[in-house]
């Protein structure tokens, strides 16, 4: 009888623990949180909101662009992009995230749709990305933001 109660209690504890882990795993955290904040900010064409997702000492590498090191350089890159274009769409797909303590990494594919303010057809940029985020004063921010074009098919 005691063994049966112990077994029942053990099974209930395992089920509770498993449901807690599933809930915790489903909640965005780390780089995933930053990616979603970036996506919302860039599609709102809000430069200040975009900059809020970068650490002061962050570095950004974009296709066919020089390295942007630090918030000032990153702000300049985004200011130029948003001065010339309206962002009409941003998607992240095939994403993967891993978080350990106050560091988190993410990677996947991106698509960014721009409508040139000078007129003309929308432009769609797509490629791969990898990011490193850290928790800074209780908020997740990018430390590294790296994007590259998809390679040409062989």
DSSP, res 79 = H
Percent share of the chain, pLDDT over 70:
82
Tens digit of pLDDT for each residue in 25-68? 445 789 999 999 999 999 999 999 999 999 999 999 998 899 99
Tens digit of pLDDT for each residue in 102-116? 999 999 999 999 999
Residue carrying the six token digits 């860039």: 42
Burial 63-89, CB ≥16 within 10 A → b, else e: eeeeebeeeeebbeebeebbeebebee
Domains, the chain, with CATH or none: 26-149 (3.10.450.50)
């Amino acid at each position: 009888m005691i063994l049966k109660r112990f077994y029942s209690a053990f099974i209930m504890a395992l089920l509770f623990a498993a449901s807690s882990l599933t809930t915790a795993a489903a909640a965005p955290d780390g780089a995933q949180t930053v990616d979603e904040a970036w996506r919302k900010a860039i599609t709102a064409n809000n430069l200040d909101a975009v900059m809020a997702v970068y650490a002061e000492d962050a570095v950004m590498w974009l296709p066919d662009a020089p390295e942007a090191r630090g918030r000032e350089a990153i702000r300049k890159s985004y200011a130029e992009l948003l001065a010339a274009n309206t962002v009409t769409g941003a998607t992240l797909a095939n994403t993967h995230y891993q978080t350990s303590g106050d560091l988190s990494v993410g990677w996947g594919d991106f698509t960014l749709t721009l409508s040139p303010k000078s007129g003309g057809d929308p432009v769609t940029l797509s490629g791969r990305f990898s990011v490193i985020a850290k928790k800074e004063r209780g908020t997740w921010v990018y430390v590294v933001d790296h994007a590259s074009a998809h390679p040409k098919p062989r």
